Amino acid sequence: MKKQAFNPYLPSWEYIPDGEPYVFDGRIYVYGSHDRYNGQVYCMNDYVCWSAPVDNPGDWRCEGVIFRKTDDPFNPDGRMCLYAPDVVRGEDGRYYLYYVLDKKSCVSVAVCDSPAGKYQFYGYVRYPDGTLLGEREGDEPQFDPGVLMENGKVYLYTGFCAPGDKSRKGAMLTVLDSDMLTIRKAPVTIAPSEPYSAGSGYEGHEFFEAPSIRKVNDKYYFVYSSIVMYELCYAVSDSPEGPFTYGGVLVANNDLHIGTYKPAEKPMYYGANNHGGLVEINGEWYIFYHRHTNGTNFSRQGMAERVEILPDGSIPQVEMTSCGLNGGPLRGEGEYPAYIACNLFCSTDNIYSGGAGKNGFWLDSRFPRIMQDGADGDVCDAYIMNMTDSACCGFKYFAFEGVRRVHIRVRGYCSGRFQVMTSWNGPVLAEIPVDYTDVWTDYSAEVSIPDGVHPLYFRYAGPGTAALLSFSLEK
């Protein structure tokens, strides 16, 4: 039976950010870095791969560890982390994994006969004289490789450019030979960093990191994270070598700039860095990206949204949703886990989850967050913690028909009520009183939700702190 697809698309205990999605032989494969729950830095775990059938994108399976950090000759003791990778199928039919270690500026490559691994170390991207890319005088440090194979050439896009850093000019393109390693054309800049953007069309959305490349029809779409971190932008060219013209924002992991269901500059989640890529699944295009959990920058989860490529080649920004790969709204009945909330906020707005925000690396204690009870790797359901007065979680979208009762599963030192709404700021359709409890406890109330496709919001009002594990819709 076909499963409903949720966001995040992987289980709540898995933390795969920087997702690069591909369809190989009827399956969707996603390659990303691998965060650790309660980790203190990015990308602490080994690479794993997940895949799903193209006709059932809610049915993901773990393919296991495909490459360990100690598999790289520069990292035999595992002291360096594996940053965001990308994969490309070579002309020989094998699959090549490009990545960068967190304390090296060169690009490493591993290879495998199948997309799901296990990958074996292959070599380092190098100039014809053997000098590694990133180590020649004048080279900028390498970071976040994105790759495209076409006509016997590998187009390698890399770069990291912090705002104000004049030593880095922008996203770089290096062309490699068909051996997947040897440089055919030295790096050139294809999208500007902030100090070099005047008059470019990229102003305010200059290149920061996370280059990704896809060919759509006869155009090349360069996807990247801008200097504000939370948004993925795109630029378009007629050639993989550019020039690339700035196109717009694809998705923001706090829903900034979306003005359809709320004020455009109101954040509806706690954002931070972002990274992802485009993929076509059954004739529809999707953008993969990630969100932040646990009140930090270091426990990120993969998300996906359907995008529309207009006849002129532009792609309007899409909302964060709970139903990403589902192909439509979720069924308006049955039980749903709270961790699929795509909106999470309270009366005090905050754009960032931490790191780049005013609250440091940890989310302010006023704000709700998604977390789990178990340790990293434990198979357990996540939940929403710290639902204090005014905290609100939202789920988009459901196809409602005849819903007459809502159930919630709650625990915590709280003595208030959850208000049920179909928009982020009301009106209130029902109130569900809750009380102090150390164990997950079920509460319910009658409600009349209008038939049709709507979001669903739960807002806590009252003293104390509640945790929300799940909710159920009953006809």
- State yes or no: is 231 an active-site residue: no
In 3D space, the residue among 394, 466, 401 whose CA is nearest the CA of residue 425 turns out to be 394
CB neighbour class for 68 (10 Å; exposed up to 12, middle 13-18, buried from 19)? middle
Q: How far apart are CA 111 and CA 97, in angstroms?
A: 6
29-33: long-range pairs with CB below 8 Å, 24+: 29/63, 29/87, 29/115, 29/116, 30/288, 30/302, 31/85, 31/86, 31/87, 31/97, 32/84, 32/85, 32/275, 32/290, 32/302, 33/81, 33/82, 33/83, 33/84, 33/85
Q: How far apart are CA 191 and CA 226, in angstroms?
A: 11
- State yes or no: is 71 an active-site residue: no
Is the distance from CB of 96 to CB of 88 less than 8 angstroms? yes
Is the peptide bond between 450 and the residue preceding it cis, with omega within 30 degrees of 0? no
Q: How far apart are CA 227 and CA 164, in angstroms?
A: 10
Q: What is the DSSP string of 293-341?
A: -TTSSS-EEEEEEEE---TTS--------S-GGGSSPEESSEEEEGGG-
Per the residue annotation, which of 140, 194, 209, 364 is the catalytic one? 209
Contacts (Cβ under 8 Å, ≥6 apart) of 275 = 17, 18, 19, 32, 84, 144, 209, 210, 212, 225, 232, 289, 290
Give the pairing of strands 392-400 and 330-331.
parallel
Per the residue annotation, which of 14, 18, 35, 144 is the catalytic one? 18
Point out the residues that are catalytic. 18, 209
